[in-house]
Structure formats: C-alpha cells, structure tokens
Amino acid sequence: RGRHEDGKRPLREVRRRRGKSPRQSAFFMRNAVVRREAAGLATLLCILGLLRRDGTAPPGAVESLRWGERFCEAYETFLALNERPQISFEHACHLLRSLEKANEICLDDCEGCGSLLVVMRYAERPKACEFCASTRPPARPGLAVGDC
C-alpha cells in the first residue's frame, strides 16, 4: 500500500486487471448487482454527456482531454456511490463503447420507474429494473433513453 501525498493517510488500494481489455458485453448481465451497477453507470454517462450515439470522436485534442476528464469524473462518482463495485475502469470503458455502438447491448426504460436499463439488444428485455422487479410502483418521469 502506498501513502497519500501528505504521507499520513494510506492510499486506497487499486487492483489492476492484466491482459486484454474486456470485450464481452454479456458481463453486464452477469447478475443483479452488475446489472444495477451498469444501469447506474450508464445514467452517469448520459447525464455528463459522454454517451455519443453518432459514434464520432470529439474534435480536437483539447476537447478529447475534456471528454477524458469527464469520463474519469463519471467513474469516480460511480466508485463513490458503490461500496464494492464489480465494474472496473476497463469495463466502464467497454460499457460506454458498447452502448455507443449498440450492437450487443443498448439502453431501455424501466416500465416501473422510468430509469435507464442496460439490456442485451437481441434478447428478451426485462420490463423493470432490479429495484422495481419485485414491486412495481406507478411510473414516474425519469431520464429516458431519448435523453442520451
């Protein structure tokens, strides 16, 4: 473990994955925890304007740096909201790129609360998010797929 720059507090240990970057979008459907985390991270990416549906790269080096900084902020916020996240930084990058391409996974809306869902593109889609799956409250307006 390292030490914080003040030399007193220990740094949070970061486990790095070795090898090839993640390439399987089915990872995000693995279990309820990962599905919930993927939906939350996708929502953050939408709110921060990082999910580009047209697939174009941001113009210019300065804009690319700003985009990268916003992506890091989104992931840091995601880490702050999840005690033991299952989605690594590399998986977060894969999630973003996969949602932009929408070949295997895409976004849908929960029929219960209107929140975003990450779903397999050609599989049967769930009607509700993990929170609403057991109890379906009346629909409330939320961040819709069309807003990203």
**Arithmetic mean of pLDDT over the chain:** 80
pLDDT tens for 99-145 read 998 889 999 998 888 899 999 988 888 888 888 876 655 555 566 66
Which is more confidently placed, 143 or 37? 37
Task: Give helix then strand counts, H and E, for the chain.
Answer: 3, 2
The pLDDT score that the predictor gives to residue 122 is: 87
CA distance 49 to 39: 15
Beta bridge partners of 106: 119
Amino acid at 67: W
